């Protein structure tokens, strides 16, 4: 089983923290949609795994017109067998969630919305240059529920200088009151080539100390435990039985095909990523010479990738499985495992190594200790 990811690289405004690939030149959407449909057709000739999930991400796929979205849907239906599909997700921003669009999305078979809420504080939303207000976000969810959507994931950002612990607690309480079943929570990171990155460089923005985000991350874990949510991946939480299938398949190492500029694909022994430039992407597709970079994964890459994904998960790394991927791994890394266990940064239980919740905020540094150096 496999996943299909479609990247729609357009946004109404550029959020000040965002370093994804997108453009705000909305007049160029149609040629890109045409190229995406062409890429779907050509990739379907070689990518022959049955699809289990489809994910429209971006950018802001919710700003596509009904006609453009159905054009992409028709291309997918024409070229892939969808009889085993279990989840179709569309990333939606609150300002695009009107009666007409929501009704149309539902009619296409989209049953899961990943909504970019980010904050319920209007001054924080404005500071981040989001295109919506907190009131709009709340109303958009109510409207979607009235139309019959039941499956929502909300994106929230924590750890900014504008978000106090009290505000974060209030936002998480609100999540319980709106009846959603999935959350993706990201610590605000200041990326170099973003407005926030530039402000930080010129001292117009001083990031709060790490402890600020760390405290909010710990609160998130406590909130999940208290309310019987599963904090199943470092940034993802769900009510039992509502883990995201598409993303869980990434972490389980299943293959996926990425369509659109900057989209990544994974085929087990290789990965590929499309050019992060809309004009170059379109021209490559038009002349039958797609612009992408491909990497054949070495055994070390495969092991490191396995560690990176599995240590983000609650259940952790299956020790037997990593010994199969890299014979002798356990013996080789045993001294480091013992050191991490003493520091309460790794738990060994039931044949798995996992990072306990109190140390999860440090998971990147812990994972690096276990990775295999390139030869
Ligand atoms: S955060 Fe989302 S809406 Fe904002 S610029 Fe990035 S992709 Fe677009």
pLDDT band at 375 (very low <50, low <70, confident <90, very high): low
State the distance from the centre of ligand 1 to the C-alpha of 350, rounded, in angstroms: 40
CA 105 to chain centre: 20
For a ligand 1 pocket test, name from 21, 60, 188, 189 the mutation site with the most ligand atoms within 8 angstroms of its C-beta: 60
pLDDT at 81: 94
Which domains occur in the chain, in start order? 2-251 (3.20.20.70), 299-370 (1.10.10)
Q: How far apart are CA 171 and CA 231, in angstroms?
A: 17
CA of 18, closest atom in ligand 1: 6
Q: Report yes or no on whether pTM surpasses 0.75.
A: yes
Segment 257-265 mean pLDDT: 98
pLDDT of residue 314: 92
Q: Say yes or no to pLDDT of 226 above 70.
A: yes
The distance from CA 237 to its chain's CA centroid, rounded to whole angstroms, is: 12
pLDDT of 232 strictly over 80:
yes
Confidence of residue 206 (pLDDT cuts 50, 70, 90): confident
13, 14, 18: residue to mutate for ligand 1 pocket, most atoms within 8 A of CB: 18
Task: Please report, for residues 67, 95, 98, 147, 324, the alpha-carbon distance to residue 103 in angstroms, rounded to integers and kept in the order given.
Answer: 13, 15, 8, 7, 48
| CB distance 219 to ligand 1 below 6 Å | no
Ligand 1 closest atom vs CA 129 = 4
Ligand 1 pocket, residue 366 CB under 6 Å = no
> Can you tell me whether residue 232 is helix, strand or coil?
strand
Q: Of all helices (H) and strands (E), which one includes residue 69?
A: helix 66-79
pLDDT band, residue 373 (cuts 50/70/90):
confident
User: What integer best gives the mean pLDDT of the chain?
Assistant: 96
pLDDT of residue 228: 97
55-64 average pLDDT score: 97
CA nearest to 259, candidates 78, 99, 34, 81: 34
User: Nearest C-alpha to atom 7 of ligand 1 is from which residue?
Assistant: 59
Q: Which atom of ligand 1 is nearest to the CA of 93?
A: 3
């Amino acid at each position: 089983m496999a996943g299909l990811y479609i990247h729609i690289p357009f946004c109404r405004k550029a959020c000040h923290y965002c370093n994804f690939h997108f453009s705000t030149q909305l007049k160029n959407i149609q040629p890109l949609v045409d190229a995406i449909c062409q890429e779907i057709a050509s990739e379907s000739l070689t990518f022959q795994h049955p699809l289990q999930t489809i994910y429209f991400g971006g950018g802001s796929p919710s700003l596509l017109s009904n006609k453009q979205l159905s054009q992409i849907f028709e291309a997918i239906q024409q070229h892939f067998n969808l009889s085993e599909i279990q989840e179709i997700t569309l990333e939606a921003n609150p300002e695009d969630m009107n009666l007409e669009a929501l009704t149309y999305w539902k009619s296409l078979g989209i049953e899961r919305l990943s909504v970019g809420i980010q904050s319920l504080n209007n001054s924080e939303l404005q500071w981040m240059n989001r295109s919506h207000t907190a009131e709009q976000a709340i109303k958009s969810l109510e409207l979607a529920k009235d139309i019959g959507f039941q499956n929502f994931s909300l994106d929230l950002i924590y750890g900014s200088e504008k978000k106090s612990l009290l505000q974060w607690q209030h936002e998480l309480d609100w999540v319980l009151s709106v009846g959603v079943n999935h959350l993706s929570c990201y610590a605000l990171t200041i990326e170099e080539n973003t407005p926030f990155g530039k402000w930080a460089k010129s001292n117009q923005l001083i990031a709060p100390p790490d402890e600020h985000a760390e405290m909010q991350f710990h609160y998130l874990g406590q909130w999940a435990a208290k309310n019987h949510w599963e904090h199943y991946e470092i940034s993802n939480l769900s009510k039992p039985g509502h883990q995201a299938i598409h993303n869980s398949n990434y972490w389980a190492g299943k293959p996926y095909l990425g369509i659109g500029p900057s989209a990544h694909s994974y085929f087990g022994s290789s990965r590929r990523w499309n050019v992060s430039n809309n004009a170059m992407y379109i021209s490559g597709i038009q002349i039958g010479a797609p612009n992408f970079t491909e990497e054949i994964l070495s055994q070390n890459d495969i092991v490191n990738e396995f560690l990176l994904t599995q240590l983000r998960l609650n259940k952790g790394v299956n020790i037997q499985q990593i010994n199969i991927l890299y014979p002798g791994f356990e013996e080789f890394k045993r001294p480091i495992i013992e050191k991490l266990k003493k520091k309460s940064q790794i738990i060994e239980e039931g044949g798995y190594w996992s990072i306990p919740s109190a140390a999860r905020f440090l998971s990147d540094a812990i994972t690096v200790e276990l990775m295999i150096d390139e030869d």
